């Protein structure tokens, strides 16, 4: 029957085969499954979905309201005022020497990444432990992907020797490295030294870098995260947006900072944007101006969000590490990877051999939702999962003083506490 739908009257497929093989994003799929279980009255501990738990700062919401009647199409590459503010923001908060004309505005960094994937031909290098959507975006245009190996002992951060090895193996083709720090799914943050070592390899091999810095200010130890664009400005495109740092995923506003050396691509990007999304919603762009101005009240709001996330992540990291679950050390973003390889024999004895099978088992038997590592370029047999630690009430959390965070976690973060307890029960059940 399904086959019938994919064939036209001449018996030929009329669906693009690259698109046909894509599945809906795993993150959204698990979120729907958890929602439907909760609707049936089941209690589920949701470590699957990575949306900021905090409300949008009132200054941004107010600016959006004030501009609600603005019905003009704005320039295709974005509102001039917003581009200026983002360039200033990148200079001040990410150490990136940017100016207005390098900034492009789009409906989310995801869309800008996709437009860039459409534009650049070559082999896309994705470190194991990277965001779920990079791969499918490239597959949708039948592009070439090379997964780069990373290791738990290095928090799954890419090491220069692996990059060098893969550059040698793809010496005759343009290479595009996608790097994301702070990282989804590991929570790892690259140090400036680590980025310097990667820069050397990139420069020697003429690699173009897509640097996904959407979580940049969600850094648990520094006020912002080092950017490879500050070391390798000539070939790094930086991506960012309102979704994570400003908790405004639904506003759909992202930006891209194109290096001066790639300025000749301006007309290509402009053409692509104008033929696809035209421009981002006007009121949202004005709200973006307010966000990127980073007035003092907003700066302290974001840093309090970060303090809370750090407290929650440390609680989970400590609790799970104590019982032998391998955890990446979260240094930023909303996530960590957790692994059950120490229990592999006992898990295999249950008839479970892959992370996908284990994620279903954990959801059904222990009511814990985790995303299997396979969504993040791990092999199935590596029993690693992404744990997102945002299932708590961000409004309540913002009312608490720093000294009260651990009480808040114990008494008010029912889903976080419950999820950790369930994982402990699972490990105990293995004997
Ligand atoms: C690593 C990473 N990059 C990009 C995005 C896309 O963000 P947006 O399109 O909302 O700007 C996300 C969202 O989950 C993400 O986690």
Q: Is 187 in the pocket of ligand 1 (CB under 6 A)?
A: no
Residues 279, 306 within the same domain:
no
Who contacts 358 (Cβ-Cβ below 8 Å, separation ≥6)?
340, 347, 352, 372, 383, 385
Residues 24, 163 within the same domain:
no
Q: Is residue 62, in this structure, part of any structural domain at all?
A: no
What does the pLDDT read at residue 3?
Answer: 58
Closest CA to 267 of 119, 81, 85: 119
Residues 171, 214 within the same domain:
yes
Q: Name the packing angle between helices 26-39 and 355-366 (round to 10°).
A: 20
130 CA: nearest ligand 1 atom: 1
Q: Which of 294, 309, 335 is the last residue of a domain?
A: 294
**Ligand 1 pocket test target in 116, 184, 214 with most atoms within 8 Å of CB:** 214
What is the residue-wise DSSP string for 399-413? TS-GGGHHHHHHHH-
What does the pLDDT read at residue 406?
Answer: 92
Residues 159, 201 within the same domain:
yes
Q: Is 184 in the pocket of ligand 1 (CB under 6 A)?
A: yes
What does the pLDDT read at residue 242?
Answer: 98
243 CA: nearest ligand 1 atom: 10
Cα-based angle 363, 369, 375 (whole degrees, multiple of 5): 110
Residues 305, 391 within the same domain:
yes
Q: Is residue 257, in this structure, part of any structural domain at all?
A: yes
Who contacts 273 (Cβ-Cβ below 8 Å, separation ≥6)?
76, 77, 104, 106, 115, 279
Residues 251, 365 within the same domain:
no
What does the pLDDT read at residue 36?
Answer: 84
How many Å lie between the centroid of ligand 1 and the Cα of residue 170? 28
Alpha-carbon distance 390 to 46, whole Å? 9
Residues 109, 241 within the same domain:
yes
**CATH number, domain containing residue 153:** 3.40.640.10
Q: Is 185 in the pocket of ligand 1 (CB under 6 A)?
A: no
Residues 332, 354 within the same domain:
yes
Q: Would you give the DSSP letter of residue 2?
A: H
**CATH number, domain containing residue 385:** 3.90.1150.10
Alpha-carbon distance 183 to 203, whole Å? 23
What does the pLDDT read at residue 16?
Answer: 86
How many Å lie between the centroid of ligand 1 and the Cα of residue 214? 6
Q: Is residue 271, in this structure, part of any structural domain at all?
A: yes
What does the pLDDT read at residue 255?
Answer: 98
Q: Is 213 in the pocket of ligand 1 (CB under 6 A)?
A: no
Residue whose CA is closest, atom 16 of ligand 1?
Answer: 184
247: alpha, beta or left? (left if phi > 0; alpha if psi -120 to 50): left
Domain coverage including residue 171: 70-294
Cα-based angle 120, 235, 376 (whole degrees, multiple of 5): 60
How many Å lie between the centroid of ligand 1 and the Cα of residue 113? 9
Residues 24, 36 within the same domain:
yes
Q: What is the pTM of this model?
A: 0.95
Q: Is residue 5, in this structure, part of any structural domain at all?
A: no
Alpha-carbon distance 344 to 380, whole Å? 12
**Ligand 1 pocket test target in 25, 116, 244, 255 with most atoms within 8 Å of CB:** 244
Q: Is 180 in the pocket of ligand 1 (CB under 6 A)?
A: yes
**Ligand 1 pocket test target in 27, 31, 127, 133 with most atoms within 8 Å of CB:** 133
Q: Is 131 in the pocket of ligand 1 (CB under 6 A)?
A: yes
Q: Is residue 244, in this structure, part of any structural domain at all?
A: yes
Q: Is 243 in the pocket of ligand 1 (CB under 6 A)?
A: yes
Residues 113, 174 within the same domain:
yes
* Each residue's pLDDT tens digit, 83-136: 999 999 999 999 999 999 999 999 999 999 999 999 999 999 999 999 999 999
Domain total of the chain: 2
SS3 state at 41: coil
Q: Is residue 112, in this structure, part of any structural domain at all?
A: yes
Residue whose CA is closest, atom 6 of ligand 1?
Answer: 110
Closest CA to 362 of 75, 48, 8, 39: 48
For the chain, which ranges sit under pLDDT 70? 1-6, 9, 11, 24-28
Q: Is 108 in the pocket of ligand 1 (CB under 6 A)?
A: yes
Q: Which of 269, 294, 319 is the last residue of a domain?
A: 294
Residues 143, 212 within the same domain:
yes
Q: Is residue 267, in this structure, part of any structural domain at all?
A: yes
Closest CA to 218 of 401, 385, 53, 25: 53
Residues 75, 154 within the same domain:
yes
Q: Is residue 3, in this structure, part of any structural domain at all?
A: no
Q: Which of 265, 294, 323 is the last residue of a domain?
A: 294
Q: Is 214 in the pocket of ligand 1 (CB under 6 A)?
A: yes
Burial of 2 (0-12, 13-18, 19+ CB in 10 A): exposed
């Amino acid at each position: 029957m399904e086959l019938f739908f994919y064939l036209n009257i001449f018996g030929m497929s009329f669906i693009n085969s690259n698109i046909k093989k894509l599945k809906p994003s795993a993150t959204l799929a698990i979120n729907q499954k958890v929602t439907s279980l909760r609707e049936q009255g089941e209690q589920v501990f949701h470590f699957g979905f990575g949306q900021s738990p905090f409300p949008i700062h009132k200054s941004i919401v107010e600016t959006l309201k004030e501009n609600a009647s603005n019905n003009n199409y704005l320039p295709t590459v974005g509102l001039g005022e917003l581009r200026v503010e983002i360039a200033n923001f990148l200079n001040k908060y990410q150490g990136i020497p940017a100016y207005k004309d390098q900034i492009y505005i789009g409906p989310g960094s995801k869309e800008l990444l996709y437009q860039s994937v459409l534009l650049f031909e070559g082999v896309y290098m994705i470190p194991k432990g990277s965001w779920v959507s990079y791969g499918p975006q490239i597959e949708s245009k039948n592009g070439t992907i090379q997964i780069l190996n990373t290791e738990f002992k290095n928090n799954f951060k890419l090491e220069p020797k692996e990059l060098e090895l893969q550059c040698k193996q793809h010496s005759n083709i343009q290479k595009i490295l996608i790097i994301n720090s702070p990282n989804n799914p590991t929570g790892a943050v690259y140090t400036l030294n680590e980025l310097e070592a990667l820069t050397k390899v990139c420069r020697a091999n003429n690699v173009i870098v897509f640097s996904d810095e959407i979580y940049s200010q969600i850094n648990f130890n520094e006020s912002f995260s080092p950017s490879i664009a500050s070391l390798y400005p000539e070939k790094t495109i930086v991506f960012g947006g309102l979704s994570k740092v400003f908790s405004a995923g639904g506003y759909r506003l992202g930006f891209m900072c194109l290096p001066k050396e790639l300025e000749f691509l301006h007309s290509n990007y402009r053409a692509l944007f104008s033929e696809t999304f035209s421009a981002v919603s006007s009121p949202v762009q004005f709200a973006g101006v307010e966000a990127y101005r980073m007035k003092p009240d907003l700066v302290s709001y974001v840093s309090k969000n970060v303090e809370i996330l750090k407290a929650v992540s440390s609680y989970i990291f400590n609790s799970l590490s104590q019982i032998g679950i391998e955890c990446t050390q979260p240094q930023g973003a909303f996530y960590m990877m957790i692994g059950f390889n120490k229990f592999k024999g006992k898990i295999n004895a249950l008839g479970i051999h892959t992370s996908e099978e284990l994620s279903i088992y954990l959801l059904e038997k222990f009511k814990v939702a985790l995303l299997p590592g396979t969504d993040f370029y791990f092999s199935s047999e590596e029993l690693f999962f992404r744990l997102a630690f945002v299932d708590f009430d961000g409004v309540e959390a913002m009312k608490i003083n720093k000294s009260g965070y651990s009480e808040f976690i114990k008494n008010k973060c029912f889903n976080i506490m419950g999820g950790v307890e369930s994982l402990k029960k699972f490990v105990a059940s293995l004997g």
